[in-house]
Structure 1
Amino acid sequence: MTTAGHRSAEEIGRTATGPRPVPELGGQTAAANLSHVDTVLSNGLRLLAVRKATVPLVELRLRIPFGGGEPLHAATAEVLAETILTGTARRDRVAIDTELALIGGELSTVVDPERLTIAGNALASGLPTLLDVLADALTAASYVDDEVGRESGRLVERLAVSRTQPRVIAREALLTHVYGDHPATREVPQAADVERVTPEAVRALHAASVLPRGSVLVVVGDIDPERIVGDVERALSGWASDRDAIGMPGLPEVAGGDVLLVPRAGAVQSQIRLIAQSLPRTDPRYAALQLANLTYGGYFSSRLVENIREDKGYTYSAHSGFEFTGPTATVGVDADTANEVTAAALLETRYELGRLGVVPPTADEVESVRQYAIGSLLTATSSQAGLASQLAALTAAGLGEEWLAEHPARLAEVTVDDVARAALEFFAPARFTGVVVGDAQILAPQLTALGGFVVGEPGK
């Protein structure tokens, strides 16, 4: 019943002859196709410079391969990332912050088992200063004892909180389940390991691993790409080594198998995490697989979301998506559910995996996800920051601006049969494994009855 004088949403969406038709989607343009230079400098650093003069700003992303198998590598790398911008031989922390502020700029760092990333931005006119500060940190970061001690203490506090978060627990459990003791599993170091890191160890890691050869610098903004090559070459001339940056060892292939129930006593929610081997962006079938993933669980109108969120209300958020590590790729499915519906949600998740292959996407479904894929790519690369981040991610697989510019055309060429074949091959339930983190006392009887589950030890 509606209030007099007001129409409901259902009434607004209908005409006398039925629902209002959805308007036709407009034509799509290329995601990039911008003036750019992709070259390797004399020190071995790959430089990808792209002109995108929408605003008088510039964005940079420096990705340095940062693998390491030593027991304290993850902890030492985290401390290095926290302190590399806290002082150099020429500048202390205040001087760095002041110079960046004067050009409307900033620099930040993040590290994971695969890479160290330094991201920055500034007014385009301030790029020389931004590059000078970056070069100073790369070649002369001081890691003074007080700064290392201070940042290590803050990091220990953050890690103590982080390791209690269900999503962090689930992520670590999943990686350990599929990759064992591979360095990729050490995304979040132990607080006790961080406490053991010394300033000498951080300085030694910088000297051994912060190297240009094999690294990639992406610069996007109101720039002349040809001129930038010389500017970067001069600014980073002191950053040199005859050794290559250290990559993480390749990941073993993910094999389908039992899902591990990881006990978390007293938890009121469960974390569902499934994973399977996928295709890298360099594979000709990737575009079809991308559309298959979107149909399954890659956006809000996907089959999985419609089933376990909209129809049954088992979860607030369900999602599937790709993860790229070097030249390899996986596809993952995740959802958080209340204990009482965890088994039912898993049953429906598996059902939708099987249905995607047996009842393949229709022409309408494929066209819908195609337009979403192209539109979201355009949106993600519409800003300088978004384009810089997209390009930086592509460089890990040796790709660049050309791949980004050509991808909408690849998506447009995918047929319904292409998507059906990708769905049948790569979304088969038997290809997946994973973990469920939750209260084993409640979940074990139901999951065991479903089959394909094993119960792990608490804390393992």
Structure 2
Amino acid sequence: MSTQILDRSTVPAPGVPKDVTFPNYFESRLPNGLKVIVYEDHTLPLVSVNMVAYGGAAFDGDYPGLADMTAELLTKGTAERSANDIVDEIEFLGGSIGSGAGWDSMSVGISILSRHVDRAMEVLADTTRNPAFPEEEIDRVRQQRLSDILQNKSNPTSLAYERFCGAVFGTHPYAQPADGTSASVEAMQEEQFRAFHRARFTADNCFLILVGDVQPDAMMEYAERLFGDMAADASGERSVPQPAVPQGRLVQVVDRPSAVQSSILVGHVGIARNHEDYIAVYLLNMVFGGFFGSRLNLNLREDKGFTYGAHARFDARIQPGPFSAGAEVRNEVTDRAIEEILHEMERIRSEAVSEEELEKVKNYVTGSFPLQIETAAQVAQRIVTIELYGLDKTYYNSFNSRILALTTDDILHAARKWMHPEKAVIVAAGRGNLLRNTLERFGAVDVFDPQGARIPNIESQAQDT
């Protein structure tokens, strides 16, 4: 019998990445228009039930933070149950309940043992259809929000992001902070929460998704019994306006006089989630700044030593959200770090990435993708994405092959179309008197205090050498 010696000094060649079959799932509609989605996974006796409503913080209007506060208050009391009753009932059954809002949706979700799914569905129906918005809970949530907002005013990262979004989006809804402002949180009352809930949680503006150890037929029966008489009201606004793209560079500073480092962001309006270029832009961003081995991190961290980590992201929403690249850097290298970000943006636009570099990033993306749809909860989140953004049900079946099909010319084309260093908004939160002086080479600098008020005549300070 022959034996073969394994050479452990040689790294084995990676296998050829393949497409991953995204799990099939059941979907149907009740007569009132409510869509019901069921994904069966009988591996464990667990189930997750979620009611998702289209439209989140993008519809806050005159009250920034309205969607987020409304979502939180849905689980804080109904006509039949107090906040404590809701939590006690679900926890007694070994489950958990939560709610929240993003830019494009609001949701309430319960995770529980599958034998208690009927009880979970009853609580879900009660919280999404009959919220009471008790005054004491509104006051409690309000005080917590005000405390969080106050705390964020001393956080350079939060200050930079809020200023960045305001500069990028101007009067568009995406310019507003999704968690609200002190003024808006103080102003919101029961009337606003009830109106927002009434407009969002209608049968034709929601979908119910159940994932785990469940059977579609049984879940449709529960859905019909608990949500079959849910009103359908098409009057709720579903469209978000297209954001305008600033035509020139803006440079803004948030003054934190005692800061020992700066939080910087560079970017502009990005891409919508359902755009045909999204996958190319996703891979472009991975090369540029989307993971530890990206160009941006290798430059600012490994080569220059300016930061512990640099990052970039296209935050794709119903409409184009922000593209941002940033880092936390020492005060004295703030301008040089911004210069390097702009340099990397220009470099990826002007010269094609090498085949070797692109292959490395492709292997990272395609190798990690299967790990992102391993659990029922991960699959559920992908289904929510498909529903929110109108993607094809088989969208993720060909994700890896579409990544692998992209060429160096495709990435160059995407960079030239979707990255614009000459129109970038540049924001730094740090020592205003120093930053105003050092950042003037990028354009006229406007300085703001943490509350958003312009500081017209902050004294400049020369950079230490």
Comparing 424-433 with 365-374, greater Cα deviation is found at 424-433
Other-structure match for 2:254: 263
TM-score, length-scaled by structure 2: 0.86
Answer yes or no: is the 8 Å Cα contact 2:18–2:401 preserved in 1.
no
- 2: CA distance, partners of 1:434 / 1:117: 34
- 1: CA distance, partners of 2:343 / 2:66: 44
Other-structure match for 2:153: 163
Other-structure match for 1:250: 241
Q: Counterpart of 1:361 in 2: which secondary structure?
A: coil
Q: Counterpart of 2:43 in 1: which secondary structure?
A: coil
- 1: CA distance, partners of 2:218 / 2:20: 24
Letter in 1 for 2:398: E
Comparing 171-180 with 107-116, greater Cα deviation is found at 107-116
- 1: CA distance, partners of 2:65 / 2:322: 26
Other-structure match for 1:445: 437
Letter in 1 for 2:249: D
- 2: CA distance, partners of 1:424 / 1:24: 33
Distance 1:209 1:34, change over 3 A: closer
- 2: CA distance, partners of 1:128 / 1:376: 36
Other-structure match for 2:292: 300
Q: Counterpart of 1:324 in 2: which secondary structure?
A: coil
**Structure 1 residue 29: deviation in Å?**
4.6
435, 440, 445: which one pairs with 1:454? 445
Q: How does 1:25-40 map to 2 (within 5 A)?
A: 25-40=14-29
- 2: CA distance, partners of 1:223 / 1:41: 18
Other-structure match for 1:45: 34
**Structure 1 residue 407: deviation in Å?**
1.2
Spell out, residue by residue over 1:62-113, the C-alpha distance to the aligned partner (whole angstroms, 9 max, x if none): 3321454542x33444442332112222222232122212332222112345
- 1: CA distance, partners of 2:124 / 2:383: 20
- 1: CA distance, partners of 2:11 / 2:322: 35
Comparing 339-348 with 41-50, greater Cα deviation is found at 41-50
**Structure 1 residue 456: deviation in Å?**
3.5
Other-structure match for 1:111: 101
- 1: CA distance, partners of 2:398 / 2:251: 40
Spell out, residue by residue over 1:132-172, the C-alpha distance to the aligned partner (whole angstroms, 9 max, x if none): 11111122111222222233223322322233322221121
**Structure 1 residue 44: deviation in Å?**
3.0
Residue segments in structure 2 that go unaligned for 5+ positions in a row: 1-6, 454-465
- 2: CA distance, partners of 1:302 / 1:280: 23
1:363 and 2:361 correspond: no
Letter in 2 for 1:59: S
Q: How many residues align?
A: 441
- 2: CA distance, partners of 1:211 / 1:406: 33
Distance 1:383 1:205, change over 3 A: same
Distance 1:86 1:283, change over 3 A: closer
Letter in 1 for 2:227: L
- 2: CA distance, partners of 1:349 / 1:70: 34
Other-structure match for 2:79: 89
- 1: CA distance, partners of 2:321 / 2:68: 25
- 1: CA distance, partners of 2:224 / 2:153: 42
Comparing 417-426 with 345-354, greater Cα deviation is found at 417-426
Distance 1:221 1:178, change over 3 A: same
- 2: CA distance, partners of 1:82 / 1:282: 28
Other-structure match for 1:397: 389
Distance 1:130 1:439, change over 3 A: same
346, 351, 363: which one pairs with 1:354? 346
Q: Counterpart of 2:106 in 1: which secondary structure?
A: strand
Letter in 2 for 1:157: S
Answer yes or no: is the 8 Å Cα contact 2:199–2:235 preserved in 1.
no
Cα RMSD, aligned residues only: 2.6
- 1: CA distance, partners of 2:364 / 2:240: 35
Distance 1:125 1:247, change over 3 A: same
188, 199, 207: which one pairs with 1:197? 188
Alignment identity in percent? 27
Distance 1:196 1:69, change over 3 A: closer
1:149 and 2:139 correspond: yes
- 1: CA distance, partners of 2:440 / 2:281: 31
